[in-house]
């Protein structure tokens, strides 16, 4: 028998896979995994089809087709008043997850520390470990999930290479304020710490708030890799296309790894996205689109035994389950799926030590019919 020493010995089957499989087995409404159950704009599919029919099916340039990088640079300038060079500061990636892994492999050396703010997306820590780095877990404030800058400051050491920040935040739906971004800017000002700013939900911010991109703050922009996702923005998560915006010197290092990681990204999809962006500003309509879904879902649960936590952005709603029973989060999600017929994700899955707060996460990026079906079941509790 071959003996293989795992590079990720603590990684097993993800909770998302487990809960989705259980949802299928029990014929439950799957509000666990974070993807839409509705189609994208047909005009986007038509644009990609046209690119295929026009013969745009061979390797594109390694950093991405110029017209798409120019469209991204124009969007960043329009929304955040930050001017990036499409040639030297924008790279198209095979989704945001690949982008984050590539950033970490490019800048983290063996023994370097990387601060992650928990709860966090489940790829961050394995990425750091694959690079030989040391994850330093700093908790967001329980209940509000706002950053605790005293704890972040205490975690900074001479070995700190980077910090990963995610706003709007998965799983909590918290959105960092301009004041919090400025506080981070001041905290990092006299360090060489890099910022990995995961902004894949940038266009899903509610109640009149504005997304505060790292690109808007000069002291952050000069040290930041800003990551976003076409899949999240245009309801095409299965296409796995995203981008990274970073200063030229950081982009140069990023591309060194990118070219040996995936080299480049699906050609006709890139041209289709570029054509679509030239004629559609669909992302400007996303706040209203998803706020309607958030409000519909929250309104359906307002008289239930769930306690709704604030949801400022993303397409996730967290709820406190302590008014229903005393089950721990993972057990509650198993019970909810099997007995009630609705799948959710335990928040403890986003913590390294499995911190249990009796809070679970629902995804409301679903059709009204799907949400109503789930609400009909949840309202019986």
Q: Give the pLDDT of residue 33.
A: 85
CA separation (Å) from 313 to 142, 224, 294? Answer: 18, 22, 9
Residue 280 has pLDDT above 80, yes or no: no
Instruction: Express each pLDDT in 297-353 by its tens digit.
Output: 999 999 999 999 999 999 999 999 999 999 999 999 999 999 999 999 999 999 998
Torsion of CA 85, 103, 57, 271, to 10 degrees: -40
Nearest CA to 16 among 332, 328, 344?
A: 344
CATH architecture group of domain 42-279: 3-Layer(aba) Sandwich (3.40)
Q: DSSP for 225-289? A: EEEEEHHHHTT-GGG--EEEE--HHHHHHHHHHHHHHT-S--HHHHHHHHHHHHH--GGGGHHHH
Q: What confidence tier does 67 reach under pLDDT thresholds 50, 70, 90? A: very high
Q: Give the pLDDT of residue 3.
A: 82
Domains of the chain: which residue ranges?
A: 15-40+284-378, 42-279
Q: What confidence tier does 1 reach under pLDDT thresholds 50, 70, 90? A: confident
Residue 163 has pLDDT above 80, yes or no: yes
Mean pLDDT (whole number) for 363-374: 98
Instruction: Express each pLDDT in 86-99 by its tens digit.
Output: 999 999 999 999 99
Q: Give the pLDDT of residue 353.
A: 87
Burial class (CB in 10 A: 0-12, 13-18, 19+), 372: middle
Q: Give the pLDDT of residue 256.
A: 98
DSSP code for 333: H
More confident residue, 1 or 85: 85
Q: Give the pLDDT of residue 223.
A: 98
CA separation (Å) from 41 to 53, 56, 218? Answer: 19, 21, 35
Residue 282 has pLDDT above 90, yes or no: no
pTM over 0.95: yes
- Looking at domain 15-40+284-378, its CATH class is alpha beta
Nearest CA to 235 among 30, 42, 38?
A: 38
């Amino acid at each position: 028998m071959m003996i293989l020493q795992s590079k990720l010995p603590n990684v097993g089957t993800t909770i998302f896979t487990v809960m989705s499989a259980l949802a299928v087995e029990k014929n439950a409404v799957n509000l666990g995994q974070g993807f839409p159950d509705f189609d994208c704009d047909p005009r986007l599919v038509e644009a990609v089809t046209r690119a295929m029919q026009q013969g745009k099916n061979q390797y594109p340039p390694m950093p991405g087709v110029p017209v798409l990088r120019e469209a991204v640079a124009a969007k960043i300038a329009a929304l955040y008043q930050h001017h990036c060079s499409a040639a030297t500061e924008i790279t198209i990636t095979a989704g945001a997850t690949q982008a984050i892994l590539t950033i970490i492999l490019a800048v983290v050396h063996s023994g370097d520390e990387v601060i992650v703010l928990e709860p966090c997306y489940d790829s961050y820590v394995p990425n750091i470990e694959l690079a030989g780095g040391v994850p330093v877990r700093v908790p967001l404030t329980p209940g509000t999930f706002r950053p605790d800058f005293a704890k972040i400051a205490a975690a900074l050491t001479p070995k700190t290479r980077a910090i990963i920040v995610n706003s709007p935040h998965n799983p909590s739906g918290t959105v960092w304020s301009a004041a919090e971004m400025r506080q981070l800017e001041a905290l990092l000002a006299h360090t060489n710490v890099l910022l990995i700013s995961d902004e894949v939900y940038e266009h899903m911010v509610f109640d009149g708030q504005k997304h505060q991109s790292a690109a808007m703050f000069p002291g952050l922009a000069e040290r930041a890799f800003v990551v976003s996702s076409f899949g999240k923005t245009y309801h095409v998560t299965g296409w796995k296309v995203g981008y990274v915006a970073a200063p030229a010197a950081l982009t140069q290092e990023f591309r060194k790894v990118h070219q040996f990681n995936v080299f480049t990204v699906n050609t006709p999809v890139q041209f289709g996205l570029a054509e679509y962006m030239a004629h559609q500003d669909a992302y400007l309509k996303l706040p209203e689109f998803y706020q309607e879904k958030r409000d519909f879902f929250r309104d359906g649960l307002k008289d239930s035994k769930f306690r709704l936590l604030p949801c400022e952005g993303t397409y996730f709603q967290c709820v406190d389950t302590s008014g229903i029973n005393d089950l721990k989060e993972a057990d509650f999600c198993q019970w909810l799926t099997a007995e009630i017929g609705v799948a959710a994700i335990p928040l403890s899955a986003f913590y390294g030590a499995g911190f249990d707060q009796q809070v679970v996460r629902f995804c409301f990026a679903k059709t009204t019919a799907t949400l109503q079906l789930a609400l009909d079941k949840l309202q019986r509790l």
